[in-house]
């Protein structure tokens, strides 16, 4: 009896030690490459061309960032990214909350039909080309609103909010209605303030999606003035790849300059998300659970 | 008979309209959403008809002439399409084989960690890559794999290679790059749901098992895994139904003229045929075919897993 317990303890300790070290290796595999990108972005072109550093740069320099910020179009793209994310998130959350609130009332006429339409949109879509033709015929090509209008609505988010609204006690609504408030008033003054946690979660997912989205630009935008940071970065990447393939063994100067610019742009593009990360982290676990419950 | 049935019907419509009017405020919240769905979802579904038409830029959706299944017939003899199918399946099966299991193992390992702070640290780090866009990660991969980049430096320092080489230009390695970079990005994120499910397992099970002399691995095998069966099957069904749709963002950023033959997937092929070459009908036909096969896969996977789960359907 006694021996068994001791043996199990030893097994358990070996398990723990192995577990801790394997997970440590796992975090190293994630952190080291990211760190390498950051320090490389602060390296001079010469150090980048030589390579040979992993944890610490040999020549600290701000030249990459200087080059990026001298380009006026980066500021323009940053502005587009920020505004499309901000406007997109606010309108998306409000629109989905509005529809979700309406559908959360079981007595609403036509509810069965509305829900059936919504469920169909979750499983079927026209795909890339028919959607492109629609966007084109709506005149949204090369318009800032193509970032906002098609992204207004998501039935998934409507379902999440609908379930959240149902958990608010009916008595709150009833007493407000007795005092003469209409549905809009109840929704705006009572339900929206009470649902801040749910809406913040959806805002966070949607915001990360808006910030990271580049397919919308790739498909519908050709006007460079409307490029967000992601598209700008994509252009720099494609450009540098064709360049480095063209001068295999050729001019190393051009290659390292574009590489530096690329690295600095990567860091600038990601910085807002990393800066928001502590705030985001609070929401995404509860968000994943809310998303899972509806399954 | 007829008149008897029609009367209540007419009355019902009247009642409906009256109710609808009385509910105008709440209806005014829902109707915009319905209009949105009709415009942005159902019109494109109707637009799928161009797969059976010969659509050119001068046509409208309705004026284009019908060609029946011609587009689908061309697909079957299109070599580039089949290349894309092979690549899509190759990458998807690698992602399924490795990428599906890693989050499960990772979640169990994190769950078994007894040091609270360390646990939090591992979780925080593991979620981080999910928040990088594919464009950002693609840019990073290109830097890491460049001849003076991190990957080659590591291999050189370890003495595994003598000459740096850019593996992104090597078509033979593309499937692995696509698979492993996807796992690097999403494995940690994939643990969240599993961890949430595990946190709901009754701890007395583990205590009872401990008294019976079960070691840690035995506990994982007999308690943790059976408790996750449903969520694992659900994930598996969704993964299988997505076999034909590999990541377009990833492909667009990592594909180059050197690795194209192994990097082109169905989605990027649809993009190329439709958006860059303007062959809308053909590209739509490819997309439609893929959607139909995906639905068949979804239904089949659901059937198979429900058989395995004692005839209880997961979906």
Chosen for mutation from B28, B53, B122, B131 (greatest number of chain A CBs closer than 10 Å) is B131
Residues B248 and B267: beta-carbon distance below 8 Å: yes
CB contact under 8 A, A212 and B288: no
For residue B166, the model assigns a pLDDT of: 87
CATH number, position B188: 1.10.3720.10
What is the total count of domains within chain B? 1
The tens-digit pLDDT sequence of chain A (295 residues) is 455 556 668 888 999 999 999 999 999 999 999 999 999 899 888 788 777 667 777 778 888 899 889 888 999 999 999 999 999 999 999 999 999 999 999 899 999 999 999 999 988 888 999 999 999 999 999 999 999 999 999 999 999 999 999 988 888 888 998 998 899 999 999 999 999 888 998 999 999 999 999 999 999 999 999 999 999 999 988 877 766 665 554 455 555 577 888 999 999 999 999 888 888 887 777 766 665 544 3
Measure Cα distances from A6 to A2, B203, B211, B213 in Å: 6, 22, 13, 11
| A265 → chain B, closest CA residue | B136
CB contact under 8 Å between A117 and B38, yes or no, is: yes
Residue B8 forms part of a structural domain: no
Closest CA to A230 of A266, A264, A259, A204: A266
Q: Residue B213: inside a domain, yes or no?
A: yes
How far apart are the C-alpha atoms of A177 and A150, rounded to whole Å?
A: 34
If one compares B315 and B246, the residue with the highest pLDDT of the two is B246
How far apart (Å, rounded) are the C-alpha atoms in residues B134 and A233?
Answer: 11
Q: Residue A206 and residue B247: Cα distance in Å, rounded?
A: 19
SS3 track for B46-102: HHHHHHHECCCCCCCCCCCCECCCHHHHHHHCCHHHHHHHHHHHHHHHHHHHHHCHH
CB proximity list for A190: less than 8 A, separation 6 or greater? A168, A172, A173, A176
Residue of B nearest to A34 (CA): B140
Q: What is the pLDDT of residue A295?
A: 36
Which residues of A are less than 8 Å from B52 in CB distance? none
Q: What's the mean pLDDT in B202-206?
A: 92
Domain membership of residue B30 (yes or no) is no
Which pLDDT value is given to residue A282?
79
Q: What is the CA radius of gyration of chain A?
A: 26
Q: What are phi and psi of A107, to 5 degrees?
A: -80, -5
Question: How far is residue A73 CA from its own chain's centroid?
Answer: 22
**CA–CA distance, B52 with B285 (Å, rounded to integer):** 7
Q: Find, in chain B, the residue whose alpha carbon is nearest to that of A5.
A: B213
What pLDDT is stored for residue A87 in this prediction? 98
Query: Would B1 be classed as within a structural domain?
Result: no
Q: Do B140 and A37 touch (CB under 8 A)?
A: yes
Q: Is B53 within the bounds of a domain?
A: no
Calpha distance A58→B175 (Å, rounded): 34
Q: Is the dihedral of CA A19, A25, A29, A35 positive or negative?
A: positive
Distance from CA of B90 to the nearest CA of A (A): 23
- Please answer yes or no on whether B136 and A266 come within 8 Å at the CB atom: yes
Check if the beta carbon of residue A152 is closer than 8 Å to that of residue A166. Answer: no
- Sorted by where each begins, the domain ranges of chain A are 64-293
Give, in words, the CATH class of A64-293. Answer: mainly alpha
- Between chain A and chain B, the number of residue pairs with CB atoms below 8 A apart is 269
Please state the rounded mean pLDDT for residues B8-19.
87
pLDDT recorded at residue A243: 66
Instruction: Give the gap in angstroms from C-alpha A4 to the nearest C-alpha of chain B.
Output: 8
Higher-confidence residue of B5 and A272: namely A272
Report chain A residues whose CB lies below 8 A from the CB of B143: 37, 40, 259, 262-263, 266
Question: What DSSP designation does A249 have?
Answer: T
Q: What is the dihedral of CA A164, A168, A174, A179, to 10 degrees?
A: -90
| Confidence (pLDDT) at A4 | 55
Contacts of A211 in chain B (CB under 8 A): 133
Provide the residue range defining the domain that includes B210. 72-309
CB B78 within 8 A of CB A158: no
Task: Select from A23, A234, A242 the Cβ nearest to the Cβ of B135.
Answer: A234
Q: Which of A27, A36, A245 sits opposite B125 (nearest CB)?
A: A27
Most confidently predicted of A84-98, A175-189, B61-75, B257-271 = A84-98
Report pLDDT for B1: 46
**Listed range (A149-153, B35-39, B42-46, B140-144) with the worst mean pLDDT:** B140-144
Domain-embedded: residue B240: yes
Query: Is the pLDDT confidence value at B182 over 80?
Result: yes
Cβ–Cβ < 8 Å for A218, B252: yes
pLDDT for position B5: 52
Interchain contact, B37 vs A118, CB within 8 Å: yes
Mean pLDDT, residues B209-213 = 89
8 Å CB contact of A289 and B249: no
User: What is the tally of helices (H) and strands (E) in chain B?
Assistant: 18, 0
Rounded Cα gap, residues B219 and B185, in angstroms: 29
In which element (H, E) is residue A120 found? helix A111-123
């Amino acid at each position: 009896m006694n021996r068994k317990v001791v043996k199990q303890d030893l097994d358990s300790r070996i398990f723990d030690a192995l577990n801790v070290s394997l997970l440590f290796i796992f975090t190293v595999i994630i952190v080291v490459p990211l760190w390498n990108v950051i320090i490389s972005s602060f390296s001079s072109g010469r150090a980048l061309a030589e390579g040979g550093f992993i944890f610490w740069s040999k020549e600290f320099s701000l030249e990459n960032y200087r080059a990026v910020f001298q380009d006026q179009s980066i500021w323009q793209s940053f502005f587009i990214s920020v505004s499309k994310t901000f406007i997109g998130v606010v309108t998306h959350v409000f629109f989905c909350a509005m529809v979700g609130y309406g559908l959360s009332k079981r007595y609403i006429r036509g509810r069965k039909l509305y829900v059936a339409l919504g469920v169909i949109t979750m499983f079927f879509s026209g795909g890339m080309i028919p959607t492109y033709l629609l966007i084109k015929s709506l005149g949204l090509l090369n318009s800032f609103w193509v970032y906002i209008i098609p992204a207004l609505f998501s039935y998934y988010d409507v379902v999440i909010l609908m379930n959240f609204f149902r958990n608010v006690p009916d008595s709150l609504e009833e007493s407000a209605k007795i005092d003469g408030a209409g549905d809009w008033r109840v929704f705006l003054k009572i339900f929206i303030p009470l649902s801040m946690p749910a809406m913040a979660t959806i805002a966070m997912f949607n915001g990360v999606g808006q910030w990271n989205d580049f397919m919308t630009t790739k498909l519908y935008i050709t006007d460079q003035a409307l490029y967000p940071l992601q598209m700008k970065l994509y252009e720099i990447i494609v450009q540098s790849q064709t360049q480095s393939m063209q001068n295999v063994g050729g001019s190393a100067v051009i290659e390292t300059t574009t590489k530096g610019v690329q690295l600095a742009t990567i860091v600038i593009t990601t910085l807002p998300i990393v800066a928001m990360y502590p705030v985001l982290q609070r929401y995404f676990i509860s968000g994943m659970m809310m998303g899972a419950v509806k399954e | 008979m007829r008149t008897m049935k029609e009367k209540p019907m007419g009355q019902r419509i009247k009642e409906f309209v009256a109710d609808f009017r009385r509910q105008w405020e709440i209806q005014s919240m829902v109707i915009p959403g319905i209009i949105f769905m009709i415009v942005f979802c159902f019109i494109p579904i109707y637009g799928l008809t161009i797969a059976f038409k010969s659509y050119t830029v001068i046509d409208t959706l309705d004026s284009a002439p019908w060609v029946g299944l011609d587009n689908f017939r061309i697909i079957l003899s299109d070599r580039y399409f089949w290349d894309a199918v092979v690549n899509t399946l190759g990458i998807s099966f690698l992602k399924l084989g490795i990428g599906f299991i890693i989050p499960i193992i990772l979640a169990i390992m994190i769950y078994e960690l007894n040091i609270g702070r360390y646990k939090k640290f591992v979780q925080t780090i593991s979620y981080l890559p999910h928040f990088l866009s594919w464009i950002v990660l693609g840019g990073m991969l290109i830097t890491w794999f460049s001849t003076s980049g991190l990957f080659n430096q590591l291999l050189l320092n370890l003495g595994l290679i003598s000459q740096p080489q850019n593996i992104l230009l090597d078509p033979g390695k593309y499937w692995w790059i696509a698979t492993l970079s996807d796992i690097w990005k999403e494995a940690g994120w994939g643990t969240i749901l599993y961890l949430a499910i595990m946190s709901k397992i009754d701890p007395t099970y583990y205590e009872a098992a401990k008294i019976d002399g079960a070691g840690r691995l035995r506990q994982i095998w007999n308690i943790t895994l059976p408790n996750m069966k449903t969520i694992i099957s659900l994930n598996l069904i969704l993964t299988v139904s997505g076999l034909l749709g590999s990541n377009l963002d990833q492909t667009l950023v990592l594909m180059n003229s050197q690795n194209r033959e192994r990097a082109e997937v169905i989605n990027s092929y649809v993009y190329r045929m439709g958006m860059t070459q303007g062959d809308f009908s053909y590209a739509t036909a490819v997309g439609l075919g893929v959607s139909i096969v995906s639905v068949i896969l979804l239904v089949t996977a659901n059937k198979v897993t429900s058989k395995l789960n004692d005839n209880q359907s997961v979906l």
